[in-house]
A and B are shown apart, each in its own frame.
Chain A
Amino acid sequence: MEMPQPNSEILLKKAKVAAALRAVLPHDAVIDDPSETRAYECDALTAYRCPPMIAVLPSTTQQVSDVLKICHREGVPVVPRGSGTSLAGGALPTADCVILGVAKMSQVLETDYENRLIRVQSGRTNLSVSGAVEEEDFFYAPDPSSQLACAIAGNIAMNSGGAHCLKYGVTTNNLLGVTMVMMDGEIVEIGGGHLDSSGLDILGIICGSEGQLGVVTEATLRILPKPEGARPVMIAFDSNEVAGACVADIIKAGVLPVAIEFMDRPIIEICENFAKAGYPECEALLIVEVEGSETEIQDQLDRICTIAQKHNPVELRQSQSDAESAAIWLGRKSAFGAVGQVADYMCLDGTIPVSALPEVLRRIKELSKHYGLRVGNVFHAGDGNMHPLIMFDANKEGDLELCEAMGADVLRLCVEVGGCLTGEHGVGIEKRDLMEDQYSASDLEIQMAVKDVFDPGWLLNPAKVFPLSVSESRRAS
């Protein structure tokens, strides 16, 4: 993956910029010693690394504004960073950039149960937002797998989803307002405690803009009352096609589960070896979870089981207790870790129309054979958001490149069947060079024109999202 050459004039200004930053931030909030900036050299896409010139850790919106004013004046690129859990390289630095980390900004600013909202600083982790409202039996719905570590800032940047989005929606559907600092240091309030916008939906474009339009420092989030209970059923099939058909039938029947997770044979085997969850021998496994009171849960599970029985499942296991629920989820939740034990892997994130599921799984299998790389599929089937895990050996020369080439083919396949490159991880650098497969030149031009509005100098996270050749003239200006 290519990154732009660092600007030598900026590198020469390092001491001056660091001194200016120290003048507006506490001493320990400016990191410029190369042995320490290394801590910020990558995010969760660890195949790519580059220590930044300087990292800063402000604590307030005003400090963020001061930092951005300095970088704006000096023409220094800024890469915003939440918790660094991006799988797409969204927080990957360049050697001439300032990393602006929001990790110190984790306060709860307001909880308002009557109006069902919470206002937090954006460095707060996803799970600790729910933690802050738990005692009143509320929760924050979007639940990316990294929710223990990932920050709301990153969730907003990538418009993160999660397993339970089928019912509750993704970040953009649960975000009411932000305080954002523009690249020139101006502080802007967008949205708030009310619903919808009277003017243009600026909040809607900020969410998912991958830190390229501004630095979000505070967020107002919708919180929801916790369901009374939740329970899954595990359904095993002897073919992916039948499992796919069962998913479509469940959705059509009007039962709206909170999650429908799909695992194929390679993943089932790896997870079973790793977690001993007691998964059966089969080609495809569905975990379908429903919520409500005990009676409601039973009623919905009965309906789902009736539908599933028509597809002759190999096994159908309704959870009867918390322990059984945990066992059913155990394998699924340890999937990424389990695969990590047997190989290096790249996790893709394309989304496809649910109807294309069997075809796409078949063609991924063909690509796997063609490239000689193993692939496991684990994903949110209810909304077609796939996570093919391509396994490779990082120590074997050429294997990473082979894996990347195969990944690109899989994502092109997702686009070909009517889907998209990324459902919840974001473009970052990982899918940047494939954008032209999904969008025409004018489609990309209008998106870049939006960035021009917020950041005319293209200093915020400039080498992401758009293919470098496409954004070159803007970045150079």
Chain B
Amino acid sequence: MSAPLFPQDEAELSAAIIDAAGPLQILGGGTRTIGRISEGQKLSTAQLKGIVLYEPGALTLVAKTGTSIADIVTALAAENQKLAFEPMDHRIMLGTEGTPTLGGVMAANVSGPRRIQVGAARDFALGVSFVDGSGRFLKNGGRVMKNVTGYDLVKLMAGSWGTLGVLSEVALKVLPVSETQATLKIHVSYWDHAVACMSAALGTPFDVSGAATVRDAAGGLGVIIRVEGFEASIRYRMTELKARLAKFGETEEISDPWAEVKDLPAWAPLDTVWKVSVRPTDALNVIAMMKELQKDYGFSCQLDWGGGLMWLGLDAKQARDLPACIQVHTALQGAVAQLGGHATLMKSDILSEQDIPHFQPLSRPVEMITQTLRGKFDPRGILNPGRMN
């Protein structure tokens, strides 16, 4: 296999794609080993580096896609601003190395707990530049907050895992850092109480910016609710939330637990992990199904986004044997297809070599649209082929 390609600018990126003799494996920092990693020569955006423009007063930052998330966060912090969608760092949970980049975050549409309040990575992308599978350099969107000029290919590119084009530059909306934050923990007994508690919190006018579940050392289930803003406002909202959520269980204010919810360090030892997105109340159906399938073995579960995001995991013992694990995977994607939503295999030692769809299979008409779109953006089928299957 030829050496990895590291284009230094868009012209080199375009040339690399035009010259490609076969499939290319597109990557940023290579920290998100999700989906079926394609064969072929590696093409990394890691050398397309640098913040191109940063206007704090306009809440706008434009950067090349190889720029590390850490560098962006540092630049923003100097102006007391942040990436509001708080992208997950997958390295800990997946056990990968490398440096997470802006391109990787956008290509995988990676968001964290605050997604429930402010939106996903895709909602903060104002504009993109990319090179498609024919080597064409293309732009869409811009660097302003509101833009409906032509089709919104920015959304299409976000979350396309490098299969439509290789992102070279992204314009982002950023937000001010909140003066302070506070987290309320509610000790609950059952999953249905947890979901009801999160729904109740998100149904208040108190601008909840995080609603997830946690396990304490003794295995007890808890709901955590985050509010952010100015000190006086936080005090008021915490008091109100405590009063309204006390019926679900004992409440206490705890120190910032959100890094663990976002990056899942406790999930690093697990063999197999799925990420599931459903209507929050449907999470209970999925949990019931998992309890049935794993009744003698157990499984791990954490809810985020009020229940709309589920993390499900099996350790090596719980994953048992290959047929049992395939059965869980198939049942999960089948149930989610019925409920509406998606289940993605994030990692698995036991399943990694199996011929199973890592991403949720699409309905027939959506699959048709998807295939035809890919054909327009990448007629030779060389960009991360099969990555999203």
Contacts from A to B (Cβ < 8 Å)? 112-117, 137-138, 158-159, 161, 165-166, 169-170, 172-173, 177, 182, 186, 188-190, 192-205, 207-209, 225-228, 248-249, 251-254, 256, 292-293, 295-296, 299-300, 303, 351-355, 380, 382-385, 418-427, 431, 435, 438-440, 442-444, 446-447, 449-454, 465
Q: Which of B159-184 contact A (CB under 8 A)?
A: 159-160, 163-164, 175-179
Q: Which residue of A lies closest to B362 (CB)?
A: A199
With an 8 A cutoff between CB atoms, is B122 at the interface?
Answer: yes
Distance A444 CA – B136 CA, assembled complex (angstroms): 12
A-B contact sample (15 more), CB < 8 A, given A204-B154, A254-B177, A423-B147: A195-B120, A196-B159, A197-B159, A201-B109, A204-B158, A205-B153, A209-B152, A299-B233, A383-B146, A420-B147, A435-B149, A440-B138, A442-B137, A446-B138, A451-B151
**A-B pairs, 4 with minimum CB distance:** A204-B155, A198-B342, A248-B57, A383-B145
Is B369 within 8 A of A202, CB to CB? yes
Size category of the B interface is 35 or more
User: Closest CB of chain B to A153's CB: distance in Å?
Assistant: 15
A-B pairs with beta carbons under 8 Å apart, 6 shown: A113-B199, A115-B199, A195-B115, A197-B159, A292-B233, A351-B146
Distance A165 CA – B370 CA, assembled complex (angstroms): 30
Q: Which residues of A contact B377 (CB under 8 A)?
A: 446, 449
Is B151 within 8 A of A194, CB to CB? no
Is B148 within 8 A of A422, CB to CB? yes
Return the contact of A114 from the options B120, B137, B199, B340 (Cβ within 8 A). B199
Given the known inter-chain contacts A355-B55, A450-B153, please indicate yes or no for A195 contacting B305, CB distance below 8 A: yes
Q: Is the interface of B mostly helix, strand, loop or mixed?
A: mixed
Return the contact of A172 from the options B57, B152, B341 (Cβ within 8 A). B152
User: Closest CB of chain A to B332's CB: distance in Å?
Assistant: 12
With an 8 A cutoff between CB atoms, is B280 at the interface?
Answer: yes
Is A251 within 8 A of B57, CB to CB? yes
Is B122 within 8 A of A204, CB to CB? yes
Q: Which residues of A contact B340 (CB under 8 A)?
A: 177, 192-194
Distance A201 CA – B341 CA, assembled complex (angstroms): 13
User: Closest CB of chain B to A264's CB: distance in Å?
Assistant: 19
Q: Which residues of B contact A440 (CB under 8 A)?
A: 138-139
Q: Which residues of A contact B249 (CB under 8 A)?
A: none
Is B152 within 8 A of A253, CB to CB? no
Q: Which residues of A contact B144 (CB under 8 A)?
A: 351-353, 383-385, 418-420, 423
Given the known inter-chain contacts A113-B203, A426-B148, please indicate yes or no for A447 contacting B153, CB distance below 8 A: yes
Distance A425 CA – B149 CA, assembled complex (angstroms): 9
With an 8 A cutoff between CB atoms, is B281 at the interface?
Answer: yes
Q: Which residue of B lies closest to A247 (CB)?
A: B57
Return the contact of B148 from the options A116, A253, A423 (Cβ within 8 A). A423
For A207, A300, A353, the residue with the greatest tally of chain B CB atoms inside 10 Å of its CB is A353
Is B119 within 8 A of A169, CB to CB? yes
Return the contact of B369 from the options A188, A251, A419, A420 (Cβ within 8 A). A188
Given the known inter-chain contacts A194-B308, A201-B160, A447-B151, please indicate yes or no for A254 contacting B176, CB distance below 8 A: yes
Distance A387 CA – B277 CA, assembled complex (angstroms): 39
User: Closest CB of chain B to A92's CB: distance in Å?
Assistant: 17
For A189, A195, A419, A422, the residue with the greatest tally of chain B CB atoms inside 10 Å of its CB is A195
Return the contact of B146 from the options A165, A201, A292 (Cβ within 8 A). A165
With an 8 A cutoff between CB atoms, is B309 at the interface?
Answer: yes
Q: Which residues of B contact A192 (CB under 8 A)?
A: 279, 340-341
Is A198 within 8 A of B359, CB to CB? yes
Q: Which residue of A lies closest to B280 (CB)?
A: A115
Distance A442 CA – B140 CA, assembled complex (angstroms): 11
User: Closest CB of chain A to B211's CB: distance in Å?
Assistant: 11
With an 8 A cutoff between CB atoms, is B31 at the interface?
Answer: no
With an 8 A cutoff between CB atoms, is B316 at the interface?
Answer: no
User: Closest CB of chain A to B275's CB: distance in Å?
Assistant: 9
Is B57 within 8 A of A296, CB to CB? no
For B149, B155, B177, B277, the residue with the greatest tally of chain A CB atoms inside 10 Å of its CB is B149
Return the contact of B57 from the options A197, A207, A252, A439 (Cβ within 8 A). A252
Is A226 within 8 A of B205, CB to CB? yes
With an 8 A cutoff between CB atoms, is B297 at the interface?
Answer: no
Return the contact of B277 from the options A195, A419, A426, A427 (Cβ within 8 A). A195
Return the contact of B150 from the options A117, A188, A251, A427 (Cβ within 8 A). A427
Is B155 within 8 A of A423, CB to CB? no
Is B152 within 8 A of A159, CB to CB? yes
Distance A424 CA – B202 CA, assembled complex (angstroms): 28
User: Closest CB of chain B to A442's CB: distance in Å?
Assistant: 5
Return the contact of A204 from the options B58, B132, B156, B279 (Cβ within 8 A). B156
Distance A226 CA – B204 CA, assembled complex (angstroms): 8
User: Closest CB of chain B to A352's CB: distance in Å?
Assistant: 6
User: Closest CB of chain A to B138's CB: distance in Å?
Assistant: 5
Distance A227 CA – B208 CA, assembled complex (angstroms): 12
Is B58 within 8 A of A353, CB to CB? yes
Q: Which residue of A lies closest to B240 (CB)?
A: A293
For B116, B175, B204, B342, the residue with the greatest tally of chain A CB atoms inside 10 Å of its CB is B342
Given the known inter-chain contacts A201-B159, A446-B377, A450-B373, please indicate yes or no for A195 contacting B309, CB distance below 8 A: yes
